[in-house]
Amino acid sequence: MTLAAPEAPLSSLTPDRLKALLSAGRFGLKTGPFTFRIRSNEAIVAQNLALLYGAHTVVDTPAFADFHVSIDRPASLRRWLSPQVYFRMDGYAPFYSLPAQQAFAMLEWGMNWCIASNAHQYLLLHAAVLAKDDQAIVMPAAPGSGKSTLCASLTLNGWRLLSDELAIIDPQTREVHGLARPVNLKNASIDVIQKRYPQALMNAPIPDTKKGTVSHLCPPPSSAAQHQKPAHIRWIMTPRYNAALSCSPTELAPRNALGLLIENAFNYDVLGENGFLAASRIVSESRAFTLEYGNLDAAHAWIAEQLK
């Protein structure tokens, strides 16, 4: 069973074809500069890939894949009794098993781990990235800061989504590459986005994960169509949700902006001098802020003002 063409959007696959490709380990998913070859027999994985990656390019048995990954069950009674699943890359399981109902969330986290642990040709930051007219805003922030909520809201207000979790930066050109993968929303932010954007396409919330309840927002087709198109970094902004404030920006001095990038880098030490030079040049070519916000409308208005 092969695709009708060497490459096609995932939405062109029938459910049976998608299931067959995943089961055989022939399913290739292109996201940004990377190709993942994925194997899984979990129905929840196929269903969520179809729901959330419909506009992404897929390949039947890619000649080359950056990462060969799988979601599978252990060869023990845990396969059937309180079913568990493992994420594996090249047969190696970097995490403990999780309940089978968390299989798709585990795939998303595992794909992030693959990139963050291995793609050292790039400077990699824990950050959301969005763009307008190929001018990017990079939002490095710690978990629980409100980064994903703001990222989802901007995505649903016409910004091009590059990534919710990873800024993938070429150290030489300082261009930031996108993935346009689903935005990972957690706990209260799920209700915030659902109520504000009832038209948003999200998968069913997954309770009791290591991050609480999680749900994934489907990237707009326009973002997915441009997932291989990089952007130029113009702004660095670290968001901090604060219910007591409407919108309170503070511009950062270059040394503090540099510290922010280094603090949120996965591989700064690996890149050494190249990492320092890349981060320093990004800071010199950008404006940097912290943004405490409790009102999404006010945050949108302030960010739009910075585009002028």
For residue 167, CA distances in Å to 40, 225, 250 come to: 27, 18, 22
Spatial distance between the Cα atoms of 308 and 288, rounded to a whole number of angstroms: 16
> Could you report the per-residue pLDDT of 115-166, keeping only the tens digit for each?
999 999 999 999 999 999 899 999 999 888 999 999 999 999 999 999 999 9
In 3D space, the residue among 241, 233, 214 whose CA is nearest the CA of residue 125 turns out to be 233
Contact residues for 68 (Cβ-Cβ < 8 A; gap 6+) = 25, 37, 39, 89, 90
Question: Torsion-angle region of residue 99: left (phi > 0), alpha (psi -120 to 50) or beta?
Answer: beta
Q: Which amino acid is at 241?
A: Y
pTM for the structure as a whole: 0.94
State the pLDDT confidence band at 4, using cuts at 50, 70 and 90.
very low
The Cα angle at residue 221 between residues 120 and 72, in degrees rounded to 5: 55
Q: How far is CA 3 from the centre of its chain?
A: 26
Sorted by where each begins, the domain ranges of the chain are 7-118, 123-306
The secondary structure element, H or E, covering residue 246 is none
> Could you report the per-residue pLDDT of 226-268, keeping only the tens digit for each?
999 999 999 999 999 999 999 999 999 999 999 999 999 999 9
Percent of the chain scored above 70 by pLDDT? 96
Beta bridge partner(s), residue 293 = 241, 247
> Could you report the per-residue pLDDT of 11-49, keeping only the tens digit for each?
999 999 999 999 999 999 999 999 999 999 999 999 999
